[in-house]
Amino acid sequence: MILPSKHLSQNRALLTVGALILRHLSTPVTVSALWEQVFSFAKSQTEPTPLRYDAFVLTLDLLFLMDAIVLREGLLYRRVL
């Protein structure tokens, strides 16, 4: 689920979704506003089914565990490494 495999397309892998989230996280934003941005972008792509919310939340968990994002005062920040 984290990496693409034979049964999981590259667009559904959590690392790919994480890269998409980090691209949209250039400024601090709430989780709901980030979801709207990422979902509308994913829906505009040629995929038959857009990104699901549970995959979005799992990806946020993965990015937090990787220390790539931080949540402060209700806003998500992209951690500068």
Q: Which residues contact 24 (CB under 8 A, 6 or more apart)?
A: 34, 37, 38, 41
pTM of the model: 0.89
Local structure of residue 29 (DSSP, 8 states)? B
Give the model confidence (pLDDT) of 8-64 as tens digits.
Answer: 777 778 999 999 999 999 999 999 999 999 999 888 876 666 788 999 999 999 999
CB 17 within 8 A of CB 56: yes
How many CB atoms within 10 Å of residue 26?
A: 8
